[in-house]
């Protein structure tokens, strides 16, 4: 295990412990580049989904998370109640509500393909939902001038598979 992987494991454990202080944790999943490849500790976000048994003490969790430092660029934590159907999250930290739903659908689609145990805790998203979300990502990326996200969305729409940011 590399130093970066050890740091990631330690940090994820700290975040999951913080969530566990606010609700019983049913499962945790590292997503994004740490799941599908291309994770760079200097430039990558830590994309983490934690599934809990409700209720979640959001205020307690936010306080605990605000007290954690991160050795990485940014923590992007999404908390779902067990059995939720993305994009119906309980908490999106630190960004809060207002992010486009396609991000949550796409993360779920990738997780259900690559993350063991995901479908035991979270309702699946369909291929049609994933395709619509990829189309929305492409439109958003083109509007924002985000060439990497646009390339990833185009690849998915053409091939039905996701590529890493490095491959894009």
Instruction: Share the mean pLDDT of the chain.
Output: 94
Smallest CA-to-CA distance from 109 within 164, 52, 160 is with 160
What domains sit in the chain, N to C, each tagged with a CATH number? 3-123 (3.30.460), 126-168 (no CATH)
pLDDT more than 90, % of the chain:
80
| 3 state SS of 122 | coil
Q: Residue 165 pLDDT > 90, yes or no?
A: no
pLDDT of residue 4: 74
Identify the H or E element spanning 132.
helix 127-144
Kindly give the residue spans of alpha helices, DSSP state H, lying in 55-100: 58-66
Q: Residue 48 pLDDT > 90, yes or no?
A: yes
pLDDT of residue 132: 98
Structure tokens at 143: 């509007």
């Amino acid at each position: 295990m590399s130093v970066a992987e050890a740091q990631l494991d330690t940090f994820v454990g700290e975040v999951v412990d913080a969530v566990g202080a606010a609700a019983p944790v049913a499962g945790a999943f590292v997503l994004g580049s740490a799941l599908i490849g291309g994770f760079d500790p200097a430039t990558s976000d830590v994309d983490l989904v934690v599934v809990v048994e409700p209720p979640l003490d959001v205020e307690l969790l936010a306080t605990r998370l605000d007290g954690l430092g991160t050795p990485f660029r940014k923590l992007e934590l999404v908390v779902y109640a067990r059995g939720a159907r993305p994009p119906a999250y309980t908490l999106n930290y630190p960004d809060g509500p207002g992010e486009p739903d396609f991000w949550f659908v796409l993360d779920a689609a990738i997780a259900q393909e690559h993350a063991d145990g995901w479908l035991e805790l979270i309702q699946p998203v369909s291929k049609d939902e994933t395709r619509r979300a990829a189309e929305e990502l492409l439109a958003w990326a083109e509007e924002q001038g985000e060439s990497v996200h646009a390339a990833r969305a185009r690849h998915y729409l053409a091939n039905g598979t996701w590529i890493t940011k490095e491959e894009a």
